[in-house]
Chains A and B, each alone.
Chain A
Amino acid sequence: MTEAVHVEPVVHQAPQGFIRKYIFSLDHKVIGIQYYLLALFSVMVGMLLSVLMRFNLAWPGTEVPILETLFPVGAPGGIMTPEFYLSLMTMHGTIMVFFVLTTAPQSGFGNYFLPLQIGAPDMAFPTLNMLSFWITFVSLLVLLAAFVVTGGAPISGWTGYPPLSALGEIAGPGLGTGQTLWVASIALFCVASLLGALNFITTTIDLRTKGMSMMRLPLTVWAWFVTAILALLAFGVLLAAGVLLLLDRVVGTSFFIPAGLVVSDQMINHKGGSPLLWQHLFWFFGHPEVYIAILPGMGVTSQILSTFARKPIFGYRAMAYAIMAIGLVSFIVWGHHMFLSGMSPYSAMVFSLTTTAVAVPSAIKTFNWLGTLWGGRVRFTTAMLFAIGFVSLFVTGGVSGLFLNQPSVDIYLHDTYFVVAHFHMIMGVAAIFGIFAATYYWFPKMFARHLSERLGKIHFWITFVGVYSIFMPMHFLGVMGNPRRYAEFTAFEFLADVVPIHEFISIAAFVTIGAQLLFAVNFFWSIARGKIAEINPWSATTLEWTVPSPPPHDNFGGRAPVVHRGPYEYSVPGASRDFILQSEPEMKVVHQ
């Protein structure tokens, strides 16, 4: 093929100088890595907070001198106060949901690989792209600042429910400056995400190279594309909610504060607002947000299962349509978070039905993943193990969702550890497995070296067994009536039996979190010393595997590749190899 030999001069000049190249870079690959590192930092902070929480849950009242040094107000005498526990929980949730699960799979890997996979030299708006990252960065700083201001971090949870979050200092520690910083951080994050989403959508529609029709997009691109659409619609609404909450806090309006509220023995001088309004606005964003976290993981899983089963993905079209269906339905299910907020049983029934409907495309995806594995010549690389782990976690978490979406069952399970188990399985850990799978899979492209497979497999098995040990027992806790968002359970007689379970969970959590050090070591060691990787080490088919590792500044050397076929042509009968690159022209291959 001519275009393989014919090299035209590079159009973009790569920037010179450290600052233009690595700090305020316009290159989507650098920005992708910046996002990834931001998420990596955030996940470490988030995990540290969960260690503190798990410690308190298993052994409440234990003196930890270092805590007093760090947080003299939150842990006087080294024993954390219940309010301090709640502030840890709020920051843990917020950091994990926004700065890890929304950031790494979409903005991190999406930025790096979406242009490469569609054959584009960069994103459609490189400057906006840089701006999105730096706004996200500032947003993270603003959030973390809540730890050091007077009163400390807010205690109203990652959902920031008013009236607690709207009243200010009077409602509790951390609800003064800390909560204001929280709202400001979320608003900034919305702006950054909106800019990012706009960029992703435009890039996918406008910048696909010749021959890359929508139905030839790798499923990863489909996932990033639909995720961006969800983000574009959902974050706009959260932004509005955040502005209103900020006004309530700073200007003195009462959008979310009802009349006749007595807090800390004081009558609150507000009236007319409704905390339910926040719940509607928040969950209209919040449910799509959980899919923003998980869809990219689904895309990565499809890509990896197909690569390492050496089989075309089972039901490509069904997979693409299922992603769209999930995205669409995710906007009409938000009420399932509000079954106990006093909604009419009829509305509850409608929300329950729409929620159950999500199970259909979810099941399609699951069966197609299994269909892809079926009869494949499976290579159990670390990336593959994490992708299979993703499927496992997604199924486990999905099944508990089907319990929760029955309003009558949810009356009992709402705000118990059952919900904690559900969303950690399906959103938290599944998305993290997606991130790990993507990291092991694409690392050779990003850094031209392999991660250690041996360390990787140890990392996988400890993590896999670990997360099940942590989150499976929480289902039972929930059924036993153990409420969530409590600092300790010693005061309740009926919860005497849960203490050993909490101890077990905490130990499992410490082991699992410790095992993440293996990953950190593997990651940084391999960047410098890992085994050198070839251009296409997994014998995969998509366009990113046709360019050098790491790809040059404008990806394809100033020429657009031409795409001739779908993304998953593995083991095609009659072909000379067991994979055919998307850019390989129609040739000796005999099509079925």
Chain B
Amino acid sequence: MEIIVCLKQVPNTTEIKIDPVTNTLKRDGVESIINPDDKTGLEVALQLKEQFGARVTVLSMGPQQAEKALGEALAMGADHAILLTDRAFAGADTLATSKTIAAAIKGMPYDLIIAGRQAIDGDTAQVGPEIAEHLDLPQISYACEVGYNADTKVFTVKRQFEDGYQILEVEGPCLLTVLSTACKPRYMRVKGLVDLDNKEVQILRRSDLVIEDEVLGLKGSPTKVKQTFNKQYNTNKQKLVLDPAEAAKLIAATLKDKHLI
């Protein structure tokens, strides 16, 4: 089985820097990690590999430094890593990102594509389903359990909703987005780290993809960031220092006043 895991490197902090010129997030100088949902996706892939045999390829689009996240994925047990990196990809929104990743995947063999449900920096949950659409694949999002029958080649997936769940069956190739509750990602293995010397991250650039220029990067993004801002709160609001008895009286009186009691 050939499994591709889509993985994003994200900043591990809530500290935010914005480029005042382009109005996009500055990612330099902030500690980076593998996006948690994506790391779970890799774990799901590695477990399928252990049970049924598979080659696991991790694929990321991002700046050169995302090589580090891919290195960690290799040390966890991925077989192959690909980084899509090029100036031409920069500033992409979810549509442009998904088209770029889909273009890279098109030339590769796969039975299953796994993505995390969403990335902690953008929280959109859009790239996975959009990749599935561009590749014309069935998608199952919010997967929390993934089973496989090697004889019938059918995946059985439990998909979590707010108010229940579905058990779904699908034949590959298909795309799943997984929840971080699906399983607990393993740590990097010592052997994995040693093996790392023999594994390289393959770099794919603009020229390696068959895709039109118009759909790439900032230019190929239908959505534009018009403005970013932080919420300003009024920090000078009045507050009353009261002993518990006075406090209880005042709250009760206020509720009465508002006809809530």
User: Do they bind each other?
Assistant: no
